[in-house]
Amino acid sequence: MTRIRTGTALALLALGYALQLLGVLLAGAVPAALGAALGALTDTALLAPSQRPVARWLGRTQLTAPVRQLLRDGLFLGALVRLDTLRPDAAGAWLLGAVLGCWALHFLCQAVAAAVRTRRRLPFVIQNIDGSGLGLTPAPPRLFARQGTQRLAAAGLLTTAGMTVSAATESAQGAALAASLCCAVLLAGTARLSAWLLPGRRVVDEERALDWLDGWLADYRPTIGLYFSGGTSSAYQVNMWLTTLAALDGRPLVVLRERFMVRRLDTTDVPVVCLPRVAHLMRLEHSTLRVLLHPSNSGKTSQVLRIPSIKHAFINHGESDKLSSCNPYARAYDQVWVAGAAARERYRLADIGVEDKDVVEVGRPQLAGIRPAPGTPREDGRLTVLYAPTWEGWTTDPGNTSLVLAGEEIVRALLADDRVRLLYKPHPMTGTVDPRAGDADRRLQTLIAQANARRAGPGPAPEAVRALERATAQLDRLTAQAVRASADEVERMRVQSRPEPGRADRVAAATERWEAAYWAALPPYAHQVVTGSRPGVHSCFNQADLLISDVSSVVSDFLVSEKPYAVANTSGMSEEAYRAAFPTVRAATLLTPGAADVPALLATVRHPERDHFAAARRELKTHLLGPAEPPSRARFNRAALALAAEAEARNARQRDLVGDGPAERVVWTDIVGEAESEGAPDTPQALAEAFGDVGDDERPEGP
């Protein structure tokens, strides 16, 4: 569905109310009915997922769905009074009573739904873990338990239709019948929902749930975990490490902090535990967990760093020459794992307190699927160029992203070459900080759509399209889970309470087949805007003959292929200063903001004898990503085992020092220090509150 802009939605709603008011003033059935229908249909359109930003904006202005519906019903009832349809007789009393009953039952249903959700919320969320001991029960009907806005919209459409019939027939019975039907459905749904408040439908309470979690940790005995906290658009940062985590020796575990993030994880067989509260997070201290890997920094990272029995390694979600790749926060970790010597040197030059002995080179294990460059260029000179700009970042530096200052010029220059197929893949967080970047992204997508409209050529082969449909259906079957479709956490956990070993491998194989079918089904001349989770950026690497990007981890990863790449210099620095400041671009062609050098760049790709950076790319690849042998996964696994051994040695020393005293006193001594002797609390719950337990901090589930 085409997204309705906020201004358009406001205009449609205002027009509907104006028509209804006109119907009241003029005693006109037609404007009253048209206005109510326009408003009801607009509200129905706003239920689409693409319209959620508009619905949220309306909610912030207090023009929520119930307010809009109440106003609409009030105006229509006023019009019925003016039309002498709503009289002080039995039919009129029936109509008023039924409408008021609808609203009363709607609010009662909302209250019961809130009570059910409260009683079904456990203090944690699990995935790929047998949770049968938690009393997990099927979810109640979503229309009554979760979808209050949808339920209200359906009731509004029915009552609006009934009042329209009454306005046309000058009889209150049509509206009264429609409202009575709404009452009956709401009453039945609320009664059905109330059954989930009975003891047999409830899940275990918090204390029993936490006891169960302690028991599961004791049975599973995790050794290494991946810790992540972030916003909705940052899930890619944890997803890129799931396969690597699953391949490590030991018993891996994913530890999340936000409930919504569980639904945004890619398919994995690794057990997942989400612990929103600090007090519950601290229970990991008494487990066998020895190492936590951190792909990003967040405010909640400091909370888990308080556990001294666990060693912490910062693995980042990508390396580049940007300042964020050597953040001073990194010194809070026990070790910083980097790809190669370039990052070690970056930390040394940054002088931010990270000691060289704490930097461990492990390579980039995720890059195994990137294919090397082909031996010879295409005879017809056709090229596939990937433009993958990074996002604007948290600072105002003009060189963060090329989108704002150079994006349009780069894309125009590429589209001007008839033998170029452009793949445009913007960063997932584009426009989240600087609206100008989001505007530039939309302009580029428009340019690409216009260019495709001008290009004529044969469409995809029917068999290729059918193959893509089959691959999509197969992949969707493997990845589609009730946990992704349901907003009920207990239902998600119930569905996933029986882990399926090997499912991640099956999904990976299906994804590979889907990517092959996807590229085969695209016309070879058609430009593509690639967004969403698939195809991934590495799949785009394998299609591209040339990458154009900014200073980002995309450049470092692309170097595995040893294909040519270019970086847009929008920093205002000279070429010499830019190359000195950002070593990852020393084997790149630098583009000016005007993109006048794009034709010459394309010529060097078509004629490899003009490519003067080939040797420099091979050298830089090793400098950035480390040697090819031993493989990165082996080095990563070796680093994990070594750090786990360090943690175990430290814990053994602590046990020798304090004996077999209470575990809580032993662990928290390192955190509270002398404060404990001054009467500070000494229980995990009290200490968590004293040190800033921020609670669930989760995103709303939707309307």
Q: What's the pLDDT band for 680 if we cut at 50, 70, 90?
A: very low
Please report the pLDDT score of residue 695 as a whole number.
41
Rounded Cα gap, residues 32 and 24, in angstroms:
7
> Would 221-363+633-703 and 381-458+525-625 be classified into the same CATH topology?
yes
Answer yes or no: is pLDDT of 431 > 80.
Answer: yes
pLDDT tens track for 290-302: 999 999 988 899 9
Place of tokens 């607009």: 42
Please name the residues in contact with 347: beta carbons below 8 A apart, sequence gap of 6 or more.
326, 330, 336, 338, 354, 356, 359
Computed over every residue of the chain, the mean pLDDT equals: 85
Burial class (CB in 10 A: 0-12, 13-18, 19+), 503: middle
Q: What pLDDT, on the 0 to 100 scale, is given for residue 486?
A: 61
Rounded to 5°, the CA angle 242-243-249 comes to 100
Tens-place pLDDT, residues 318-330? 776 666 667 788 8
Query: Token digits for 549?
Result: 């990007």
| Per-residue pLDDT, 684 | 40
Parse the chain into domains and list their residue ranges.
6-120+141-201, 221-363+633-703, 381-458+525-625, 460-522
92 half-sphere exposure, CB direction, 13 A CA radius: 12
**Confidence class for position 681, pLDDT limits 50, 70, 90:** very low
Record the tokens describing residue 501, joined without a space: 């070993």
Q: Which of 232-241, 363-372, 484-493 has the lowest mean pLDDT?
A: 484-493
Neighbour count for residue 560 (Cβ, 10 Å): 20
Split at pLDDT 50, 70, 90, the class of 226 is very high
- Phi, psi (deg, nearest 5) at residue 291: -140, 135
- The percent of residues in the chain predicted with pLDDT above 90, rounded, is 47
Query: Can you give the pLDDT at residue 498?
Result: 64
pLDDT digit string (tens) for 464-512? Answer: 889 999 999 988 888 765 444 466 788 777 776 666 778 888 888 998 8
- Residue of 48 and 184 predicted with greater confidence: 184
Structure tokens at 437: 């970047």
Ramachandran quadrant class, 659 (left: phi over 0; alpha: psi -120 to 50; beta: rest): left
Closest Cα partner for 124 from 701, 698, 702? 698
Query: Which of 149-163, 331-345, 521-535, 683-697 is least confident?
Result: 683-697
Query: Which class would CATH give 221-363+633-703?
Result: alpha beta
CATH architecture of residue range(s) 381-458+525-625: 3-Layer(aba) Sandwich (3.40)
Backbone phi, psi, residue 266, to 5°: -70, 165
pLDDT at position 697 over 80 = no
Pairing of strands 224-228, 291-294: parallel
- Our measurement of the distance from residue 202's CA atom to the centroid of its chain's CA atoms, rounded to an integer in Å, reads 30
Residue 476 has a CB neighbour count (10 Å cut-off) of 11
**pTM for the full predicted model:** 0.77
Task: Report residue 130: phi and psi, to 5°.
Answer: -70, 105
Q: What is the pLDDT of residues 556-573, one digit of tens each?
A: 889 989 999 999 998 888
| Predicted local distance difference test score (pLDDT) of residue 524 | 79
pLDDT band at 231 (very low <50, low <70, confident <90, very high): confident
Burial class (CB in 10 A: 0-12, 13-18, 19+), 450: exposed
d(CA 668, CA 573): 50
